[in-house]
A and B are shown apart, each in its own frame.
Chain A
Amino acid sequence: MNKPIPVTDWVSDFDHTDPRWTENPYPIWDELRAECPVVHTNRFLGVYMPTTYEAVKAIAYDTEHFSSRRIIVRNSRPPITQTAPPITSDPPEHKPAKQLLLPPFTPDAMKKLEPRVREICNELIDQFINDPSIDAAARYTKHIPVRAIAHMLGIPEQDGDLFIKWIHEILELGITDEDTLMRAVEEMSHYFMGHIQARKSKPTDDLISTLMNARGPDGQPLSDMHVLGSLRLLLIAGIDTTWSAIGASLWHLAKTPADRERLIAEPSLMPTAIEEFLRAYAPVTMAREVIKETTISGCPIKPENMVLLSFPAANRDPAMFPDADKVLIDRKENRHAAFGLGIHRCVGSNLARMEMTVAIEEWLKRIPDFRLDPAGKVTWSEGTVRGPRQLPLLLGAAR
């Protein structure tokens, strides 16, 4: 594997896997946005990146010129063999595939799951509540979404570590290492096929059985491959995304005592605080493939290129958000795009919000005092999903 050449000119040669981008992308995005609403790089076989809210929105809404058949920018573009409907679907296939997944993820459905998520958070906190210092990514944020989604799917919560490994291989290593990517996808497919087969003889009351019993637009049950694709999507999309969002929220509260104290004193601010963390630290950058020539915000867009659809950069656009670079936990007007815009709005957005809210509430109840450990280093994941992968904290009041 060749090491990428370090970036010297972000505007014409950006690289979203460059360590400086991973560490702190916000000043880079400000520089790009000041230069042009859509920038381009020849890396990764050619990629555009919209830098303004307006340009991100225009592309998200435009399914005629931009396809979701590829949603991750990688070094190579192997033939598409494994899909994950509806996230990899375009109209007209998209809507029926999405409608199958929506009912299990409504706010009401999430209310039923909420007590289990509170238990999961407290089970985790029980294990480190007496420790003076912990890595909150490894001990807390990482485990909440994976256990919640396993609970919904009806698979063992203990298999979580396996899922975390596959996701790391697919979303991070897989950007540059095709063999690892393919092997992880194979292993994951094999795992889920086993669970699908088991339910054929013994149906269960969980999301896997719900999908297996669902009917497609033709009135026929979904094929095993469709069920498998949707399970793959739920796992890939539902885990390190929310893990990142919870981690970034805790990171912010660890380094901003004023916000932490205010949130404890005024718990009614929790909903606006969560939306603001979603805006300011939106973890997910999707991608599109250009399929027809067009123009976005005055910039020519040509086929054969991918698009890095940076919802996080849109959320930092000062033309859309006053004080875009400030985190205001009582921000009243907040049309952030953390869950996307248009038909591909994240199917798990209600789940993610519930998990974030519960994870922060339970943490603050039991650990009101905490701060970054100056002896440790916070590290961030690169590429498609950005969040703290190492979050060393000191627990308890400063002594």
Chain B
Amino acid sequence: MFEKVLIANRGEIALRVIRACRELGIRTLAIYSEADVDSLHVQLADESICIGAPPSSESYLKIDRIMSAAEVGDVDAIHPGYGFLAENAHFAEVCESCNIHFIGPPARAMRAMGDKNLARQFARKAGVPVTPGSDGVVTEETEALKVAKKVGYPVMIKAVAGGGGRGMRVAHNDASFLPAFHAARMEADKAFGNSDVYIEKLIINPHHIEFQIVADKHGHVVHLGERDCSIQRRNQKVIEECPSPLMTDGLRKKMGHASVKLAQSVGYQNAGTMEFLVDNSGHFYFMEMNTRIQVEHTITEEVYGCDLVKEQIRIAAGERLSPHVARASPRLHAIQCRINAEDPAKNFQSSPGRIAFYYAPGGRGIRVDSHAYTGYVVPPYYDSLIAKLIAVGASRRSTIDRMRRALDEYYITGIKTTVGFHGAIMRSMEFREGKYDTGFVERLMNSDKFELIATPGRLHE
């Protein structure tokens, strides 16, 4: 087992990794930018090293400085978290060449599935259904237009190196196709340094269902069921739940089997997630694979009774899949609300700044993964996620009621957050009935009944 791990990330996930390491008796080294000197993960790590100026490009993405810190700190392994360098195959290779374990999949598996177009090809080869679309990257206008017509409108133009909902455009007809094509390429080039795009049929208001994969270095691959991530705003996940309200035992078996088969076919190791789109007739289509631990790994942990980050560390250290993970089955229901430092009343514009007062909910069945605290200054340089609020219960109904209760006691003042927005979702009939799809958030916000729920009580005055 490792003696010391460097956490190449920040915010709540850095804290998550530090917690897993501490429970395993592993020493932790945090790296941070000048903007994160007062961050909780830096305070709680055994050691910390400042690696650069606030912008990510000057710090969290600086491979050379991270490796220097790893050398100076004499670490055995690096956990990349999610985002930043988590799916950077070159970074994984640099780690290995420095004899430092990368806590994640091998570089070649990352490359195979990281390129969304290549991943689709692997899926086809493994007999997993994929959304109808182009055979590969489309670079040229006339070719692109031909594919779009063949696939049939509406279509989605997607960046091969994309993520987080960026580098994507929708086109409903020939007239809007070319501008969308060029816009997607430009955005992809700017955001990911790679303008390659492919074309997919757009399934109207699909359900986004993903499967958690865990694989050790000895060839054992299992799936830990699904998460429903259909509640999205501008292609960014807002709420996740496990199990999915529309899953049946039969569909779970089919999709789980497809996920495991695909992971095996690329020699995948460690934790990963297969993302699918599911239409209303129960047809599922492979969309892409995330070759990292995800923000919403938490709800799988609560429902299946496991610690996925600890399992990642164990797998990286060469251990076989823990028996309780290999044999895991769903026992409960869990929902996660992503609390962002954004103002829902002002089109979700970022709301960085000092948290004047912070009180997180507690009580039975509540889990809070957050690096926030009273007096913490949310920096403007990074993503706006400040907390993950998870409710666990015996049934979906009781879990929703518990989440609603928890949101109503969540105090975050001084900045604007999406707590009130989640409160509105928990009260929505469509959500409570479990009949939502990816069009849900837009419908909710456009409805007359939509109202942000203010946290009641005078605790913060």
Q: A and B bound?
A: no
Instruction: Give the A-binding residues of B (Cβ under 8 A).
Output: none
